[in-house]
Amino acid sequence: MKRLIIGIGGITNGGKSTLAKSLHEHIPNSCIVAQDAFFKDDSLVAVDSNGFKQYDDLDALRMDRMMSEIRAWQRNPESFFASRGLKPQFHKIPEAQDEVYVLIIEGFLIFNYRPLNELMNKRYFLTIPYDVCKKRRCLRVYTPPDPPGYFDGYVWPMFLKNQKEMEEIVTDLVYLDGMRVREDLFSAVYEEVTLEIQRRLDTNC
């Protein structure tokens, strides 16, 4: 059994989960692990000197739990896949004797966490301009909801800081323009992932 791990990172509201879901729907034997599912309880998230809850920081996330979930997939992708009620499919290549299990890891700080970054075989990073990001973010309701001034006073400066830190540790990142239509973004990534799957089926890696 072969494995492939793809990281879909990027700015808040850049389209990460939209892209990850489309990939999952089209890639046989794939699963998604989303970083958003690992936020700590609000009572455990620190507050900064401006009174803003520090959600855009690795400390706000249970990265240990996220890593255990990913390790469970690594140990046995097939049973991890089955435990989510998904049914294995062979790739549509007649001579394929093997299967490639694909893990799609999606989240805004996935490349900032070194132990997680190191596991990825492909790294994609979605970006959108400030004004589009602000507009999309204003339409989204988180739990808890963003307080007034949160985007400009906290989210945007943290995005710039986190992106800078990520770029210091990550190489071979593929930047994706999140302003492209969903279908275009999907096709571009799907094509590359399909080639990676094919490469694994063709070789002994």
Ligand X SMILES: Nc1ncnc2c1ncn2[C@@H]1O[C@H](COP(=O)(O)OP(=O)(O)O)[C@@H](O)[C@H]1O
Q: List contacts with ligand X (CB under 6 A).
A: 10, 12-18, 136, 178, 180-182, 185
Footprint on this chain of ligand NMN (rule: CB under 6 A): 12-13, 16, 36, 39, 55-56, 108, 142-143, 155
Q: How far is CA 45 from CA 31, 51, 152, in A?
A: 28, 12, 19
Cβ proximity to ligand NMN, 85 vs 145, nearer residue: 145
**What minimum distance in Å lies between the beta carbon of 191 and ligand NMN?**
24
**What minimum distance in Å lies between the beta carbon of 11 and ligand X?**
7
Quickly tell me which residue has 């694909």 as its tokens.
102
For the beta sheet containing 173-177, the strands, ordered from the edge strand earlier in sequence to the opposite edge, are 30-34, 100-106, 2-10, 122-127, 173-177
Q: How far is CA 200 from CA 50, 88, 162, 204, in A?
A: 50, 17, 33, 7
**What minimum distance in Å lies between the beta carbon of 15 and ligand NMN?**
10
Cβ proximity to ligand NMN, 12 vs 30, nearer residue: 12
**What minimum distance in Å lies between the beta carbon of 83 and ligand X?**
24
Question: Could you say which of ligand X, ligand NMN, none residue 142 binds, taking C-beta under 5 to 8 angstroms by partner kind?
Answer: ligand NMN
Minimal CB distance residue for ligand X: 15
Helix (H) / strand (E) element for 123: namely strand 122-127
Q: Are 120 and 6 in contact (CB under 8 A)?
A: yes
Sign of torsion over alpha carbons 69, 71, 73, 75: negative
Cis peptide before 144 (omega within 30 of 0): yes
Cβ proximity to ligand X, 15 vs 77, nearer residue: 15
Question: Could you say which of ligand NMN, ligand X, none residue 143 binds, taking C-beta under 5 to 8 angstroms by partner kind?
Answer: ligand NMN
